[in-house]
Amino acid sequence: MEKFIKKLMIALTVMFLAIICGNGAVKAGDYWASNLYANNGNYVGYSEGSITENTERGWTANFKSPGWYGIWEAQVYQSTKLGMGNVNIAKDKRYSIRFDIKSEICNKLIYILVGSSEKVAFSDWIYVKKGEIYKYYSNFIAKEDATEIHFGMGPQFELEGHSGLGEELYRYNIYRAKYGNSKYWDDESALEPMTIKCRNFYLGDIEKNIKNFKAVNKKGRKIKLTWKKSNDAYKYQIAYASNKKFTKNVNYKNVKSKGTKSYIIKKLKKGKTYYFKMRVYYILNRKMEYGNWSVTKKVKIKK
């Protein structure tokens, strides 16, 4: 009965928001929404258009007009409280955010905010050139709890009412100095209709643990190590030794290509037993961090 009441309350909340917000509200099954209030005649700065693709991994926003007031007048957002997606960010925990984004009609400066106007867990600015795919990736430590993520794409440098900003305003001033001091972007076409596409969206835990780690003896006194690629790896470190505590004859190998899923260790001694393990290195706050060691694999060299 409690589960039924909870589901009913969520459904009523979504219905209420749909009534008061019009096309800017959330529909059942949506992963993303936008503040397209101008669709219903509210032209006081707000955007007009539609979200034509709406999936767990991305969205396409077609703005007939991006609005004319601030960065948030044209936005796409996700909110767990409104039944969209799964944004559950906890303060002081480590997370990864990544996506591919493209602006088809104009150059676009986009503000990414994980959190709300009062509590900012993470934020960043990106400059997307017309027609190019921008592959965004960042690891961060959450400054606050958060259940929302927003992509701000309005035509002005406005961030009014955001009391939770600190370092973000510093970054904002850097971008403003780089792209001009006028209130509009360097590209006037940013005020015209625009189409923004976001794909391969991920916001969640950093992939810092090795999965599917295997070690197999190959002909020629070799060991082939394989694992599942980590999307957050900057590089990998492999360790092997002649005892399971890794205190005798310990060797380390660094695999610099993060896309690599295998590595061959050569010139091992036939008849000897070796122990293997590995871990992920990733970047956090411009520093190298490492994940947990994988399970240890024991292999005797028979070939």
Element (H, E) at 138: strand 133-141
Q: Does position 36 have pLDDT exceeding 70, yes or no?
A: yes
The pLDDT assigned to 234 comes to: 92
pLDDT, tens digit (0-9, with 9 covering 90-100), for 63-102: 887 776 667 778 899 999 888 888 999 999 999 999 999 9
Mean pLDDT of 218-226: 96
Q: Does position 186 have pLDDT exceeding 80, yes or no?
A: no
Residues 182 and 46 both lie in one domain: yes
Residues 134 and 95 both lie in one domain: yes
Q: Does position 20 have pLDDT exceeding 60, yes or no?
A: no
Q: Does position 226 have pLDDT exceeding 50, yes or no?
A: yes
Q: Phi and psi at residue 75, in whole multiples of 5°?
A: -145, 160
Residues 225 and 92 both lie in one domain: no
Residues 34 and 102 both lie in one domain: yes
Q: Which pair of tokens denotes residue 142?
A: 């959450």
Asked if residue 56 lies in contact with residue 204, where contact means CB atoms within 8 angstroms, the answer is no
Q: Which residues in 2-29 are b (16+ Cβ under 10 Å) and which e?
A: eeeeeeeeeeeebeebbeebbbbbbeee
Asked if residue 288 lies in contact with residue 234, where contact means CB atoms within 8 angstroms, the answer is yes
Residues 114, 184, 187: CA angle, nearest 5 degrees: 100
Mean pLDDT of 261-274: 96
Q: Does position 26 have pLDDT exceeding 90, yes or no?
A: no
pLDDT, tens digit (0-9, with 9 covering 90-100), for 138-168: 999 999 999 999 998 887 655 554 544 555 5
Residue indicated by tokens 């961090």: 289
Q: Does position 182 have pLDDT exceeding 50, yes or no?
A: no
Q: Which pair of tokens denotes residue 18?
A: 């749909």
Residues 180 and 228 both lie in one domain: no
Q: Which pair of tokens denotes residue 67?
A: 């609005």
**Final residue in a domain of this structure, among 174, 205, 236:** 205
The pLDDT assigned to 232 comes to: 93
Q: Which pair of tokens denotes residue 238?
A: 């492999």
Q: Does position 213 have pLDDT exceeding 80, yes or no?
A: yes
* Per-residue pLDDT band at 40 (split at 50, 70, 90): low
Mean pLDDT of 111-135: 90
User: How far apart, in whole angstroms, are the C-alpha atoms of residue 277 and residue 289?
Assistant: 17
**Final residue in a domain of this structure, among 175, 205, 235:** 205
Residues 218 and 252 both lie in one domain: yes
Q: Does position 279 have pLDDT exceeding 80, yes or no?
A: yes
User: How far apart, in whole angstroms, are the C-alpha atoms of residue 19 and residue 217?
Assistant: 65
User: How far apart, in whole angstroms, are the C-alpha atoms of residue 222 and residue 152?
Assistant: 53
Residues 247 and 186 both lie in one domain: no
CATH code of the domain containing 106: 2.60.120.260
Mean pLDDT of 290-294: 96
Residues 6+ away with beta carbon under 8 Å from 38: 46, 47, 48, 65, 67
Q: 81: helix, coil or strand? A: helix
Q: 201: helix, coil or strand? A: strand
Q: Does position 189 have pLDDT exceeding 60, yes or no?
A: no
- Tell me the chain's radius of gyration from C-alpha atoms: 24
Q: Does position 285 have pLDDT exceeding 90, yes or no?
A: no
Residues 248 and 282 both lie in one domain: yes
The pLDDT assigned to 17 comes to: 35
**Final residue in a domain of this structure, among 156, 190, 205:** 205
Q: How high is the mean pLDDT of the chain?
A: 81
Q: How many domains does the chain have?
A: 2
CATH code of the domain containing 221: 2.60.40.10
Sheet order of strands, 120-128 included: 33-34, 75-79, 148-152, 108-115, 120-128
The pLDDT assigned to 183 comes to: 44
Element (H, E) at 14: helix 2-21
* Per-residue pLDDT band at 5 (split at 50, 70, 90): very low
Domain region containing 111 = 2-205
Residues 38 and 166 both lie in one domain: yes
Residues 20 and 70 both lie in one domain: yes
Residues 196 and 232 both lie in one domain: no
Mean pLDDT of 214-243: 96
Q: Does position 247 have pLDDT exceeding 90, yes or no?
A: yes
